[in-house]
Amino acid sequence: MATTASHCPYCALQCAMSLQTGADLPEQQVDHRPPVGIGSRDFPTNRGGLCKKGWTSAELINSAGRVTTPLRRVGSEFVPVGWEQALDDIADRLRSIGERHGKDAVGVFGGGGLTNEKAYQLGKFARIALGTSMIDYNGRFCMSSAAAAGNRAFGIDRGMPFPVSDLDGAQTILLVGSNVAATMPPFIGHLEGTRERNGLIVVDPRRSETARLTDDGGGLHLQPVPGTDLVLLLGITHIVLNEKLYDEHYVQTRTVGWEGVRRSVAQWWPQRVQEVTGAPTGQLREVAHRLAGGRGTYILTGRGIEQHVDGTDTVTAAINLSLLLGLCGRPGSGYGTLTGQGNGQGGREHGQKADQLPGYRKITDPQARAQVAAVWGVDPDRLPGPGVPATELLGRLGEQIKALLVHGSNVVISAPDAGAVARRLAQLDLLVVCDFFCSETAAHADYVLPVTQWAEEEGTMTNLEGRVLRRRRAIEPPQGVRSELWIMAELAQRLAAPGVWDTEAAAVFDELARASAGGIADYSGLSHELLDTEVEAYWPYPSGSAGTPRLFAERFAHPDGRAVMVPVRSRRHAPRPVATDELTLVTGRLLEHYQSGAQTRRVEELRSARPQADLQIDPATAQRLGIAEGDPGAISNLRGEVFARAELSTGIRIDTVFLPFHFGGRQTANALTEAVVDPISAMPEFKRTQVSVRRADPVEVQG
């Protein structure tokens, strides 16, 4: 048996695993390839543990549903075609659309699961092979608010500026808006010491799996009204300032702007915060005193507070609180945000974001444009300017944008107002989707191009700590399947694009390293060869350095070395009446599934455990609506209607319901969410949608 060291293909914890290949054939196979088994591997993030998604991840490699040849739409059907025919036609149509409608009539939509090499090459391909500015990616739906807040406060965006193992010795951890027990279960091993010390504080409107970790003396659970996290954090900050719990020396020597923060929270005294959020004043004071009560304090944020129209300001409020307490850069304390997608960190650093070039540089910066253009072998004037963020890009489909290339994303499930997105896809002149399965988005495509899965490719990923990791090939892809690096090189050649288009991941990474040199996310000291030695590689990792596992020990990334405290204000804090026909829908993840479910819904063990979307609803609310456990429920608003089985739970507020977003068809939760965004980060409002709920007729559910 051969063993290959690699990492899990799912979340940003990037748990280490080993891939085992043997000689016996599986019952279901593709091109008679050997089976792949999963073994544990000790690593600081997961310490040999994996969740059920990780343990079953190999099942997809030889799936009978795998796309293994290019597919072309003919009428309402797909027919297999050869690669030469597919690429020739795609290139001809892209060229024609660009000539008739302008370069920005072609859009590119990437993904936070792409390797660093593919994310880098995709940004390069869009800008010099297609000449379009219209590129963004699904990480806009995941990390954009935290990124915007981190950049303006610290001058740098690295989700966790310290190794996750630093949490092991924490006295107190405030976890706001993250359900890590379901989304990345091995992570909770790093919370065990804090639980034993009664120091875990979880903020979530649901009694989630993570909130239940506070039971039996593990800590404290605050259950605010959805969308009021900003007020909650402003209220805790008010107490810290009013009761002089802050670190005055740290604030005076390492930050600027604290006086503005002091004025901005003056109106949020505890009683008023309780009226808006529902969090008791006693809990608010207890949280403030616990956070300030000693060293070993961490504040961690997640999607629950970020996926709002005020998400950037809410994360900023959490950062302000961290700075007032003197946590950032201090040994044994800190602030961090938990990246979701497998390469959500690296995927936003090297060019598939609308306004960025490799190294986390701004595309509007003349010096950055000149350096990257030199690496690419083009004139800087050839590079387009900034594009538009994901929600706006999708809103232009069929009008300004006539063609779309999709890599590593399933927008028909994951985008807000998903029904409108599906309708716009149908208006395109050309839709090309690169995927290994025929996802809900691929079902709309003119071409589906089969690409390699994680165990079939070389590359790198950057996990939630900013640690760059090696992805290694354990098995050859099925005959007919190609890497996106090869696809982009072939299309670039057909489009007469300048520059070099390598198809080997190591060579692409070397180019990425050169292009990132001197940038915020500097990878210039790294290579596949170095990473193969299992070196701890935390960026920034400039040439000649040993990397940066912990940021901010001496200075922040602003020119003066200080962190910036930015005053923020709540603009939607009127308390909602409890007795109303409308409820607040919160969307989120399940333990068994990942992102749009395009992969995990194909794994029998995961699908049988969670075969459908369940509507979590409080029993008293359900009784008022005439809904019993297991009844079909219809959840609707002006954008659409979805159906789900009722799951009664006292762990959710009476004014709130919860749907997972992993399912398609008539269970697509994002058919209800609105395409409104944070004005700073362009993050959509996923966590606060007004809906009506009723008991549905079983015939309606079946469609």
Inter-CA distances, 566 with 159, 270, 479, Å? 19, 21, 54
| 82-104 residues labelled b (16+ CB within 10 A) or e (exposed) | ebeebbebbbebbeebbeeeebb
Least Cα distance to 30 among 70, 56, 65, 58 occurs for 65
Residues 257 and 395 in one domain: no
CATH number where 196 lies: 3.40.228.10
Q: What are phi and psi of 260, to 5 degrees?
A: -65, -35
Please spell the DSSP secondary structure of 476-544, one letter per residue.
PPPTT-B-HHHHHHHHHHHTT--S----SHHHHHHHHHHHHTTSSS--TT--HHHHTTT---BSP--TT
Residue 56 falls inside a structural domain: yes
- The Cα–Cα gap between 272 and 257 comes to 25
Residues 318 and 369 in one domain: no
Residues 92 and 236 in one domain: no
Residue 148 falls inside a structural domain: no
Residues 47 and 106 in one domain: no
Model confidence pLDDT, tens digit, residues 486-540: 999 999 999 999 999 999 999 999 999 999 999 999 999 999 999 999 999 999 9
Report whether 484 contacts 118 (CB < 8 A): yes
- The Cα–Cα gap between 189 and 398 comes to 47
pLDDT for 25 beyond 50: no
Model confidence pLDDT, tens digit, residues 417-474: 999 999 999 999 999 999 999 999 999 999 999 999 999 999 999 999 999 999 999 9
On average, the pLDDT of the chain sits at: 94
pLDDT number for residue 27: 47
Residues 124 and 16 in one domain: no
Q: Which of 60, 86, 101 is the last residue of a domain?
A: 60
Residues 590 and 658 in one domain: yes
Residue 136 falls inside a structural domain: yes
Q: Which of 337, 363, 394 is the last residue of a domain?
A: 337
- The Cα–Cα gap between 267 and 262 comes to 10
CATH number where 647 lies: 2.40.40.20
Cis status of the peptide bond prior to 186, with omega within 30 of 0: no
Residues 364 and 498 in one domain: yes
CATH number where 41 lies: 2.20.25.90
Give the residue-averaged pLDDT of 372-394.
97
The DSSP bridge pattern shows strands 684-685 and 674-677 to be antiparallel
Higher-pLDDT residue of 217 and 84 is: 84
What global pTM score does this model have? 0.95
Residues 589 and 655 in one domain: yes
Residues 77 and 32 in one domain: no
Reading the block at residue 594, the tokens are 């990942």
Residue 293 falls inside a structural domain: yes
Give the residue-averaged pLDDT of 548-557.
97
Residue labelled with tokens 């749009």: 596
Residue 691 falls inside a structural domain: yes
Report whether 466 contacts 538 (CB < 8 A): yes
Residue 538 falls inside a structural domain: no
Residue 454 falls inside a structural domain: yes
Residues 405 and 468 in one domain: yes
Residue 535 falls inside a structural domain: no
Tell me which residue range forms the domain holding 37: 2-60
Report whether 262 contacts 241 (CB < 8 A): yes
Report whether 256 contacts 565 (CB < 8 A): yes
Give the residue-averaged pLDDT of 394-406.
98
Question: Which ranges constitute the DSSP H helices of 184-222?
Answer: 192-196
Number of domains observed in the structure of the chain = 4
Residues 617 and 692 in one domain: yes
Q: 351: Cβ–Cβ under 8 A, 6 or more apart, which residues?
A: 119, 120, 122, 123, 124, 127, 357, 358
pLDDT for 28 beyond 50: no
CATH number where 87 lies: 3.40.50.740
Q: Which of 13, 29, 60 is the last residue of a domain?
A: 60
Give the residue-averaged pLDDT of 371-381.
97
Model confidence pLDDT, tens digit, residues 97-145: 999 999 999 999 999 999 999 999 999 999 999 999 999 999 999 889 9
Residues 300 and 407 in one domain: no
